[in-house]
Structure 1
Amino acid sequence: MKERQVPWRERISYSLTDTASNLVFQVVTTYLLFYYTDSIGISAGVVGTLFLIARVIDAFDSPFFGILIDKTNTRWGKSRPWFLWLALPFSVVAVLTFSVPDISPTGQIVYAYVTYILLGILYAGINLPVTSILPSLSSNPQERTVIGVVRMICAMVGTVAVTTFTLPIVNKLGQGDDAKGFTLTMIIFASIAFVLFINAFLQTKERVGSEVTQKSLPFREGIKAIKGNSPWYIMLFLNFIFWVANIMKTQTTTYYFTYKIGRPDLIPTAMALNMVLIVTLVMVPFFTKRIGKRNTMLIGMIVSIIGQLVMFLGDQNSNIGLLLGGSVVVGLGGGFVAGLLFIMIVDTVDYGEWKTGVRAQGLLTASSSFGVKFGMGIGGALSAWMLSLSGYKAGATQSSSALFAIDMNFIWVPIICYILAVIALMFYKLDKVEKQMLADLEARHRV
């Protein structure tokens, strides 16, 4: 087995696809609720229902694209051509989502439904190949981990760019008109995303494969790779629960520092602290080589719980230092988790082939996109509904019940989710059989 199969130019080009994704979807996850409620005037309850309906649709679109990828058979490969086909539609619809026209309230709601749901479908189509292509880039598990870390660092570049610069750019370009500012800001981010996806199409290569990996795979055959694949079910749950926590906290950050703390000037700082993920991201290959992927992720979840509790202490004492310090600790824990979520999903592709002889990389890695989007949708809907039911009013002094809902979203729900993730990880056993699994698969592929 070659130690290095993917040159650095290709590693970077591949990893920048997550920069592209985050330049668009981090704006959606962080600011779309705020854009709808405070810039356009749509009620939080209506937005919550929209987020939930969109995620129900995602229950079908992620597996659908996974099946399409397994059936795709082009001279460019299975996953790579989707970067070319969907880069432009994804970028255009992203801009349209943040361009709600000045029409009747009902018309605005309909427009929001159409554009947001379509954006979610296109996101599944262009983001799923980012994960499904990884097993075709390299057959070396340690190199996959390194590539995955580089990918997550590039993802964080996109995230930090969005969380740090979005509001200043909105204010600068909007000149007091936030709706216009968000539209122009998204034009910038979506244009960059388009270029990065096209670059990934041009620079990447699907080099790993056999007859099993290259042929068009019927859906009935693909399903066999799921049966008895317990690591896949656990990773599906972990992707879901992690992103419920992530979106509920991230989506509430603007509300928390605006209405609970009274320091909206701290929003860019709080968002930028996510950059500390890079510290632990670069340590992921070191830890996984010595203690395994499951144990590394366990450490990340536990550190995140500790960080949330530190933030609770800061919240109780109105101590900005503890709040921001706790955010740093959460970010450090999150680096271990985010750096492994999709890598461990890729491992379940190998596990499914090992157990059943069927390699359904599109269908199985669809769980990553599905988990992310469904978690984001459920988290987004829950946080919006909690705000609505608590009596939240945009731009007004908030009631005690509204402030309590903001606290729940920002501090306590993430703690609950991380605890559930720790419990699920106790049942993950793939690390123990990985060496034997890879040796057996390599022997099969040589035949």
Structure 2
Amino acid sequence: MSTHSGLPRRVRTGYGLGSVATGSFGTVPGLLLLPFLTDHIGIAAGLAGLIVLLPKAWDVLLNPIAGRISDASTHPGGRRRPFLLRAGTALALLFVLLFAGPTAPTWLGALWVAVAFLACATAYAFFQVPYVAMPAELTRDPAERTRLMTWRVAILALAILLSGGLAPVIRDLGGATWGYRLVGLFVGLLILFGTYAAWRGTAGAPLADIPAPSAGLGEQLRLVAGDRNFRLLLLTYVLQALAIGCLLAGVDYVARWSMGRSGASTILFICFVAPALIVTPLWQLVAAKAGKRWGYGAATLCLLLGALAVFAAKGRSLAVLAAAVAVIGIGYAGAQLFPLAMLPDVAAVDADRTGENRIGVFTGVWTGAETLGLALGPGLYAAVLAAGGYVSSSGGEVEQSTRAVTAIHLGFSLVPAVVIALSLLALARYRLDERSVRESATTRHTS
């Protein structure tokens, strides 16, 4: 391994472009799959929530296995990179099929989406886990990992903005027959681009040569679960993924029923994502001055204040609601940057302590739990809709009761706020900082 901690611009850019794939797949189903099920196929909100949740819940079991497999890989093209190309290409093709199936009868449409989404989740596991594992092996410098994550989060914000901002527009332009199918094709192409860019851009990058673990998967999971800092960081991130998933699922409903304007969904979505393009470098400066842990706390507080502001904006103008959503977006940028830079630190300290590379298992548990959190978000939002008496339809919009409209707003504001507050309590107990990471690396190097 090279002792030089600075990564070439090509590697930073190439690795960051992989977020085009992760951002597109992580955003568009959370934004449009639930409305596709309830208002296009006509599936009841409760069942639609289960269809969104269960394939992602499968990843909780699959992701640690994917991590173990990539940890043990001896492929001449690299331990992680071959997984990116194969799984990412499969994901792109499967995503096109997700929205291309039958919509009638209702049961057949529901079955098609459930099976296709399960296949997408399986392919995504073998892309996402090796992809997220790579920073711990690309550099040993915690500050360089933050810089690498800054590139990734900035590109992630662009990818989310592009995919999530244009997907509703493409759906509306395509009409009832072709709208969602064109969305599937559009996002599939984005995933394919991000896949190839990450695979190509990281070619030849020097990776840390740490032996694969000798223990079985069960023993590794037990050891990973015993890492207190990892547990707390994971719990914080998963709770926030749940809250973000709930917010994303509510955008389309809030635009149509609270604002009375379907096109408002694009405005709200842009206000959620666009701040990251500006504030992500500023969050990096916060990390340099105060540390990642304190920066993550500040970002989480922004998330909480933004969600409470959205709750207070009920009945007000679109401009007021958009401003409140922008506050969430500022927090969201930091809530992506900091934990993704902190996870490799946790895994690196574990590798220094044990002499074995368990980053794939750490990442597998992390991404599996994150995926579950993002899937639980729409499921939780669907449950709120069902409790409010939301009426699904396959023949266009139907009149909703005042109670249902209230549920739409609560699921988009107060419910995520409570979840974010719980995540802040978990983060307050996290203790690993940059000094500890550097001391761990120095101890291993001199021993």
Would you say same fold, with TM above 0.5?
yes
Number of the residue aligned with 1:408: 410
Alignment of 1:156-171 (within 5 A): 156-171=157-172
Structure 1 stretch displaced more, 319-328 or 153-162: 319-328
* Partner residue in 2 for 1:73: 74
Change (3 A) 1:213 1:288: farther
Pairs within 5 Å for 1:379-394: 379-394=377-392
Q: After alignment, is 145-154 or 276-285 more displaced?
A: 276-285
* 1:422 partnered with 2:424: yes
Task: Tell me the equivalent position of 1:94.
Answer: 95
Distance 1:217 1:186, change over 3 A: farther
Which structure 1 segments of 5+ residues have no match?
Answer: none
State how far apart, in whole Å, the 1-side matches of 2:100 and 2:346 are.
40
Q: CA deviation at 1:264?
A: 2.2
Task: Say if 1:298 and 1:422, in contact at 8 Å, map to a contact too.
Answer: yes
Structure 2 residue aligned with 1:350:
348
Distance 1:424 1:227 in 2: 15
State the SS of the aligned residue for 1:284: helix
Offset of 1:369 from its aligned partner?
1.1
Q: What does residue 438 of structure 2 align with?
A: 435
Partner of 2:149: 148
Counterpart contact for 1:225–1:353, Cα < 8 Å: no
**Alpha-carbon separation, structure 2, partners of 1:232 and 1:109:** 37
Give the Cα separation in 1 of the matches to 2:141 and 2:25.
31
| Equivalent-residue separation in structure 2 for 1:208 and 1:218 (angstroms) | 24
Aligned to 2:186: 188
Amino acid at match of 2:442: A
Q: Distance in 2 between matches of 1:22 and 1:347?
A: 23
CA separation of 1:88 and 1:318: change in aligned 2, threshold 3 A: same
Determine if contact 1:127/1:369 at 8 Å carries over to the other structure.
yes
Deviation of residue 216 (structure 1)? 7.4
Quote the Cα distance in structure 1 between the aligned partners of 2:212 and 2:358. 10
> Contact 2:213/2:357 (CA < 8 Å) preserved in 1?
no
Distance 1:347 1:367 in 2: 15
CA 1:207–1:216: 2 relative to 1, 3 Å: farther
Measure, in 2, the Cα distance between the counterparts of 1:214 and 1:76.
17
TM-score, normalisation: structure 1: 0.93
Please tell me whether the aligned partners of residues 70 and 217 of structure 1 are also in contact (alpha carbons under 8 angstroms).
Answer: no
Q: Which residue of 2 aligns with 1:306?
A: 305
Q: For 1:186 and 1:155, how far apart are their aligned partners in 2? A: 19
Where does the alignment leave 5 or more consecutive residues of structure 2 unmatched? none
What is the CA-CA distance between 1:52 and the residue it aligns to? 3.0
Q: Distance in 1 between matches of 2:225 and 2:95?
A: 36
1:382 and 1:312 map into 2 onto residues whose CA distance is 17
Alignment correspondent of 2:320: 322
1:41: which partner in 2? 42
389-398 or 113-122: which moved more?
389-398
Answer yes or no: is the 8 Å Cα contact 2:98–2:116 preserved in 1: yes
% identical aligned pairs: 21
Are the equivalent residues in 1 in contact too, given 2:139–2:208 (CA < 8 A)?
A: no
Residue 85 of structure 1 corresponds to 86
Cα distance, 1:102–1:285 mapped onto 2, change above 3 Å = closer
Residue 206 of structure 1 and its aligned partner are, at CA, apart by 4.8
Q: Distance in 2 between matches of 1:430 and 1:103?
A: 53
Contact in 2 for aligned 1:14/1:200 (Cα 8 Å): yes
Is the Cα contact below 8 Å between 1:222 and 1:358 reproduced in 2? Answer: no
- Provide the secondary structure at the position in 2 that maps to 1:45: helix
C-alpha distance in 2, partners of 1:102/1:255?
21
What residue in structure 2 maps to residue 19 of structure 1? 20
> Is the Cα–Cα contact under 8 Å of residues 21 and 127 in structure 1 kept in the other structure?
yes
Larger deviation: 386-395 or 143-152? 386-395
Equivalent residue letter for 2:285: F
The aligned amino acid for 2:71 is: D
The one-letter code sitting in structure 2 at the alignment partner of 1:48 is G
Task: Provide, for residues 347-366 of structure 1, a one-character-per-residue CA deviation record: whole Å limited to 9, x for no partner.
Answer: 11112223333320100011
Letter in 2 for 1:437: S
Instruction: Judge which range, 137-146 or 220-229, deviates more.
Output: 220-229
By how many angstroms is 1:415 displaced?
Answer: 0.9
Q: Which amino acid aligns with 2:266?
A: P
The RMSD of aligned alpha carbons is 2.0
Residue 280 of structure 2 is aligned to residue 293 of structure 1: no
> Which has the higher mean CA deviation after the structures are superposed, 194-203 or 12-21?
194-203
Three-state SS of the structure 2 residue aligned to 1:264 is coil
Q: Structure 1 residues 417, 441: CA separation in 2 closer, same or farther (over 3 Å shift)?
A: farther
> How many residues are matched?
439
Alpha-carbon distance change, 192 to 307 in structure 1, aligned in 2, over 3 angstroms:
closer
Q: Distance in 2 between matches of 1:55 and 1:200?
A: 23
- What is the letter of the counterpart of residue 401 of structure 1? R
Report the Cα offset of residue 309 of structure 1: 2.2
Amino acid at match of 2:9: W
Q: Taking structure 2 as the reference length, what is the TM-score of the superposition?
A: 0.93
Q: State the distance in 1 between where 2:218 and 2:374 align.
A: 29
Report deviation, 1:227: 5.2
1:280 aligns with 2:305: no
CA distance in 2, matches of 1:303, 1:375: 20
Counterpart residue identity of residue 116, structure 2: T
Task: Work out the CA distance in 1 between the residues paired with 2:263 and 2:187.
Answer: 23
Cα distance in 1 for partners of 2:229, 2:82 equals 29
The one-letter amino acid paired with 1:413 is: V
Equivalent in the alignment of 1:336: 334
CA 221–392 in structure 1, closer or farther in 2 if over 3 Å, else same: closer
Q: CA deviation at 1:259?
A: 0.6
- The answer (yes or no) to whether the contact 2:353–2:444 under 8 Å persists in 1 is no
